Structure 1
């Protein structure tokens, strides 16, 4: 009886080790094509169609990008594939100052680690994952060989673009003075800009990962649209040969997302003021 008991325990322990090993070995790689539109506004209204096409050609590398997402059950590593500038044949060094860096997410530990370079200085952004309150939809569609379901959410725009900079965002973030009922000036806090998100995920790949800031659904996110950008998965390889890169970046000055945004905003203000002083001489 004891022999049977010991044998049973050994088999169960061995099965548990196999299951744990399989969970650790589970990994995948997804390729995403990202496309963004650019509004030329009043500036574009004064341009000819030929000029608009020329601007779009110059901006092609910033509007169309390719990303790779490596993932296992708990973690993911998201990075952009290098691409030569369409016009000059060189890498887009200016755009890299405001581009998304290599990003590590761990859904188990609620951890974000992202490498960012800004004008030659290396930063290591460490923060929690962006909370997203998804609303699950009933709509479905096929993306490649995977059946996907729709989910939507609304998130503060700055939480999705904290690594980027926009002069328009700077103007909108300035407090505005207003006159209260008593006739005295009142400082009105700027309105928080929100971005609507539409995502399509597949339960056939049961991980909570997705490209960029997007995560938290009961399946890999294969398509996501937010603002003027859409990311679409074009290729998936499950359990490829060889170990995929899934380690967090570890070089650079440690900083939070909002502190990083304040840093680059302060630097851009400084550069603007320096140009203003040069022109006034």
Structure 2
């Protein structure tokens, strides 16, 4: 009898491991970043004509509105932007890929919540990087507020998050009340970089909505750590909303970490990006006026 019981336990353990390995789900997310403050600042910059502003807005629309697909199992996931046809006919692809990367796109984002690590491959200035680091440990505050997303009852959670310096979605307009004393000096200077009106805060407030009905410790980008799949997350400027969830997908996706590129930490990658952008700015080819982004010139 003991032998039969032991065999049953072993068989049950094997079955559970197999079930965990075979289980897989898929979620589609739509990411939208507000550009109202950027449009407002461009309108104030005399160096940017209405024609230039319209061109910039058209070129950048695809960077601020993206669709991503998250494939997940019980411990890991891959999050990747849905490929689009190049509306520019191949012109300026290098600069556009660089800017897309700075706006949260590009590459394959792999998370392993069991090992609490992530890796993502990024292309920047023609070079391939492989960012490998620990997942951020956000101190989520659980709220009682609920709402429906795609038929699921979702609960609210909030947390403060240190900003990612290489993600330009994190830039916010400067507090004009603090800048008032500098206006006279600015009037005597020729202003050619409208990004001077923006700053990078140290932290941003995150609001997430998770579905306990989907007991997966996953979410879009590097968000995780809640007792249910995160179906919506917002930082006050960018909203990532799930539009479709499929559980136990028949066709299994490959969920594995990317391996291409020079291995760096997130901090090292951020420093590389910020240093290069400062160099471009000093050369007069940086984000101010977007002259260095090769947007179909």
Q: Which residue of 2 aligns with 1:157?
A: 163
Quote how far apart the aligned CAs of 1:236 are.
1.1
Quote how far apart the aligned CAs of 1:50 are.
9.0
Structure 1 residue 82 corresponds to structure 2 residue 83: yes
Deviations 1:125-158 (A, max 9, x none): 1110012110000011111121111101111223
Structure 1 residue 111 corresponds to structure 2 residue 105: no
1:127 and 1:262 map into 2 onto residues whose CA distance is 15
CA contact (8 A) 1:61 1:83 kept: no
Q: Which residue of 2 aligns with 1:257?
A: 266
1:167 and 1:233 map into 2 onto residues whose CA distance is 21
Superposition TM-score, scaled by structure 1 size: 0.80
Structure 1 residue 273 corresponds to structure 2 residue 273: no
Closer, same or farther in 2 for the Cα pair 1:260/1:247, shift >3 Å?
A: same
Aligned length: 251
Structure 1 residue 35 corresponds to structure 2 residue 32: yes
2:225 and 2:170 map into 1 onto residues whose CA distance is 31
Partner SS for 2:283: helix
Deviates more, 1:39-48 or 1:265-274: 39-48
CA contact (8 A) 2:216 2:229 kept: yes
Structure 1 residue 196 corresponds to structure 2 residue 205: yes
CA contact (8 A) 2:20 2:74 kept: yes
In structure 2, stretches of 5+ residues that fail to align are: 176-198, 286-297
2:112 and 2:50 map into 1 onto residues whose CA distance is 46
Deviations 1:167-203 (A, max 9, x none): 978x99xxxxxxxxxxxxxxxxx99522111110001
1:200 and 1:68 map into 2 onto residues whose CA distance is 18
Query: Which structure's relative contact order is higher, taking Cα pairs within 8 Å and 6+ residues apart?
Result: 2
1:123 and 1:230 map into 2 onto residues whose CA distance is 26
CA contact (8 A) 2:25 2:71 kept: yes
Quote how far apart the aligned CAs of 1:274 are.
3.3
2:121 and 2:135 map into 1 onto residues whose CA distance is 15
Greater radius of gyration (CA):
1
Deviations 1:84-112 (A, max 9, x none): 355x3548542321413311111111111
Note the aligned Cα RMSD (angstroms): 2.8
Quote how far apart the aligned CAs of 1:243 are.
2.2
Q: Which residue of 2 aligns with 1:229?
A: 238
Instruction: Within 5 Å, give how 1:74-223 maps onto structure 2.
Output: 74-86=75-87, 88-90=88-90, 93-98=94-99, 99=101, 100=105, 101-158=107-164, 162-165=165-168, 193-223=202-232
Quote how far apart the aligned CAs of 1:53 are.
6.2
Quote how far apart the aligned CAs of 1:26 are.
1.2
Partner SS for 1:97: helix
CA contact (8 A) 1:165 1:264 kept: no
Superposition TM-score, scaled by structure 2 size: 0.76
1:256 and 1:62 map into 2 onto residues whose CA distance is 24
